[in-house]
Structure 1
Amino acid sequence: MSRNAGPHPLCIGKCQEFQVKRYGLSKRYELGQKLCQMCNQWIHYEGVWCPCCHKRLRTKPKSKRRADFPRI
């Protein structure tokens, strides 16, 4: 599923309450934002599970390269 596709059928839309925007070139994970891959949304939420579809949120980047080096 691409990030531009619609939400997953399990998504009930509750994640819209926690949706956040990207600010400049900052790293999302360092700002406390988490990715729900099912809902296809970046959210700011304290829990580990998505409040919408109840799937585990991604809290760190897939590639180590993105985690180690600052983005220019």
Structure 2
Amino acid sequence: MVCRNICEKYRATKNKGSSPYAQGYKRCQVCDLFIKWSGTRCPCCQRTLRTKPHNKEAWYDE
């Protein structure tokens, strides 16, 4: 599984004040970026996207 830079088209924009997960963005761990995508797998590397924060502090920001 290697990033082929297809996901760059779907890169999420940074917004202040709110968690990216709360805004509906998903994170690919292989490509290392947040994307705006309706599927459950990355369009680039086919890895499952994270839809929830990994650490406890980020849970409270949502």
Smaller-chain TM-score bracket: 0.7 to 0.9
Rg larger for: 1
* Alpha-carbon contact 2:41-2:48 (below 8 Å) kept: yes
Name whichever of 48-57 and 24-33 sits farther off: 24-33
Of residues 35, 41, 45 in structure 1, which corresponds to 2:33?
Answer: 41
Q: State the percentage of identical aligned residues.
A: 34
Amino acid of the structure 1 residue aligned with 2:43:
P
Of residues 50, 54, 57 in structure 2, which corresponds to 1:58?
Answer: 50
Q: Tell which has more relative contact order, 1 or 2 (C-alpha 8 A, sep 6+).
A: 2
Of residues 6, 9, 17 in structure 2, which corresponds to 1:14?
Answer: 6
Spell out the pairing of 1:21-32 with structure 2 (5 A cutoff). 21-32=13-24
TM-score of the pair, normalised by structure 1? 0.77
User: Match for residue 61 of structure 2?
Assistant: 70
TM-score of the pair, normalised by structure 2? 0.88
Deviation of residue 32 (structure 1)?
0.7
Deviation of residue 41 (structure 1)?
1.2
Structure 1 unaligned blocks of 5 or more: 1-8
In the alignment of these two chains, the number of paired residues is: 62
